[in-house]
Amino acid sequence: MKKFILCFFMLLATRGFLWAEDVNFEATVSSPQVSMDEVLQLTLTFTGVNDNLDPVSLPVIDGFTAKYLGPSSSTSVVMVNGNSESHSERSFIYNLFPNKVGKFQIPAISATIAGHTYTTQPIDVEVTQSNSQAQASSGGPSGQDQAPSTGSLKDKILLMASVDKKEVYLNERVGLTIKLLYAVPIRDIQMPQFDKTGILVDDFDKPLQDSRVVDGIRYDMVEFKTNIYPDHLGDLTLGPVQLQGNVLYKAGGGNPFNQDNNSFGADVFANFFDSYVSRPVNLSSQTILLHVLPLPGEGRPNDFSGAIGQFDFQSSVSPLQVKAGDPLTLKMDVTGSGNFKNFQMPVFQDPDFKSYAPAIKNVGDEKTAEQVIIPTSVGIKDVPAIHFTYFDPFLKSYQTITRGPFAIQVTAPNPDQEFKAVGFSNLNPAPSTMLTHQFSFGKMFSKACQFFKKLSRSILFRISLGFILIAGLSLLLWRRFQERLENDPAFARRFKAVREARHALIPAEKYISTGKSKDLYALLSKALRDYLANKWHQPPAALSIGEILSRLKTAKVDEKQIAQVKTLLEQSDLVCFAGASFDPDKMRSDLSQTRDLIAHLEKSLK
């Protein structure tokens, strides 16, 4: 009992230490540069904290006056080694009002939790003169509808491209990663584009979304991944990567969402749709220089067919016991990491076997082949070994994997077996006899006619025949419908659009119950955009709000529904990009409106 009590108190004593090891404390700002008429938002974030915390007291920050806005909490669940773990995050948000122009530093901020002190990194920021002062000093126009300049977006939107390695071999697979980081609202993001001269490029994977802190600035991030295969020797310039999108900004302010004006109150969003507009922005990454090497000629095996990477090769034969003239199936499977699209699978050829062209399938990082082979004589003991040769760029040498030989047993055909493959030898089947039957074709035809004449008088037969005809016609129509779904992508997308939209909205109730406004409105916007993209056979990224409204007007959709589409999409952008949030009743109402809107559009967009 004493040992139990001692262990209990030791656990309590160490709880704070163990809990503190998982805590992280960081500071981020909304932008590295603000003007005198803007407000800088400072966020202090604790992760791994399960207890309630009091707001952090800020030190004196030179050049700014601070105002505490309020807290924000979130919880996420991640899988670690098959087990779910809950990660909590609690943030405290402050507005920093500039007092003077210049370069300043937000000092390191400390907080003590469970006896442990955590400290953030200092952040450098710059305060410039206000927009009106800058226009007055430069003699420029003082209009209220100027969009943010390219210079003002510097450090707020970043486009970066990187590759796994820069010294590569000809046709080697190289991973390309493109990251878009943005600290201002941006929407209608297009897929990256770049000059593909000298390279082959895979399709992009589904973009990943995350956030990242760079130099004290928290950016939202969209990550695009693909693979490239250089097919020219020498130095090869990749990029710059180009990407287009629309920046959301406040008309007259030139700076998105940096105003104070009760940032968490209703006043800020009262006239949002009248005061915020978007402008196109074209982004470019840096270029990347690749040095493409030729494959070494020394030591190259004769059966090398262009595989470059790191692979595993497996092969099998079935069945293992057959009669001469019966088919065997030879299966080959290549897995690993490499240029799967650019090499050929091994093809089995042997004079003791008749072989057919293999059926080859390539899905992701796996390539398979199935080849039918037929032993041509009795007494064959095995299927010879199969070799797969590839070049390993890490080892800088050719590697060969051998599977087999595969032991098999080939016997003679049965005496009464009629099949004999042309060109086969040494089958030696035992002699067989064939019984012949004499019959009269005319008599059989007459009897068949009498039988069907009698059968046609039966009502049950007529009903059954009608059922068979209807079933056959239905099957024919169904098969034609399925063929159209497979061969007409536009028809398939239109047909499946409403079903996919309804299925996409399934998680919405969970987001409402957990109060995740951003996730809900991102879901509503995506479901509606994807639905319209499917109906019009367009990529969703190509449909801006203006393009959607224009198409709906052309399709003569009811003006009320068009207005609802515009409001829903703009409201979703407001929540996703400007940090607005709504109560559960409002969220549930917008979910219901989205479902009704899709149902009405389905009737209009036939």
- Please check whether residue 358 is in contact with residue 345, taking contact to mean a CB–CB distance below 8 angstroms: yes
- Read off the amino acid at residue 300: R
Q: Which CATH architecture has domain 2-138?
A: Sandwich (2.60)
Of 57-66, 84-93, 132-141, 346-355, which gets the smallest average pLDDT? 132-141
Q: Confirm whether 2-138 and 157-293 share one CATH topology.
A: yes
DSSP state of 84: E
Distance from C-alpha of 138 to C-alpha of 132, rounded to nearest angstrom: 10
pLDDT at 341: 87
- Read off the amino acid at residue 448: A
CATH class of the 316-411 domain in this structure: mainly beta
Q: Is 76 left (phi over 0), alpha (psi -120 to 50) or beta?
A: beta
177-205 pLDDT per residue, tens = 999 998 888 888 889 999 999 999 999 99
Q: H helices of 363-458, where?
A: 441-456
- Please check whether residue 342 is in contact with residue 231, taking contact to mean a CB–CB distance below 8 angstroms: no
236: pLDDT strictly greater than 60 = yes
SS3 state of residue 331: strand
Place of tokens 């996420």: 76
Give 417: exposed, middle or buried? Use CB within 10 Å, 0-12, 13-18, 19+.
middle
Distance between start and end Cα atoms, the chain: 77
Fold of domain 157-293 = Immunoglobulin-like (2.60.40)
430: pLDDT strictly greater than 50 = no
279-323 pLDDT per residue, tens = 788 899 999 999 999 999 999 999 999 999 999 999 999 999 999
Pick from 124, 88, 87: nearest CA to 105: 124
pTM of the model: 0.54
Q: What is the mean pLDDT of residues 140-164?
A: 68
355-374 pLDDT per residue, tens = 999 999 999 899 999 999 99
Maximum average pLDDT range among 20-24, 465-469, 578-582: 465-469
In the chain, domain spans: 2-138, 157-293, 316-411, 490-604
408: pLDDT strictly greater than 80 = yes
**Residue percentage of the chain with pLDDT more than 70:** 79
445: pLDDT strictly greater than 90 = no
Angle at alpha carbon of residue 580, lines to 579 and 584, rounded to 5°: 130
Q: What is the mean pLDDT of residues 337-363?
A: 93
Q: Which two tokens stand for residue 314?
A: 């497996």
pLDDT at 268: 43
**Residue percentage of the chain with pLDDT more than 90:** 33
Please give the C-alpha separations between residue 184 and each of 67, 527, 537, 576, in angstroms, as whole numbers.
22, 23, 30, 11
- Please check whether residue 357 is in contact with residue 342, taking contact to mean a CB–CB distance below 8 angstroms: no
Mean pLDDT across the chain: 80
Q: Which two tokens stand for residue 594?
A: 């989205």
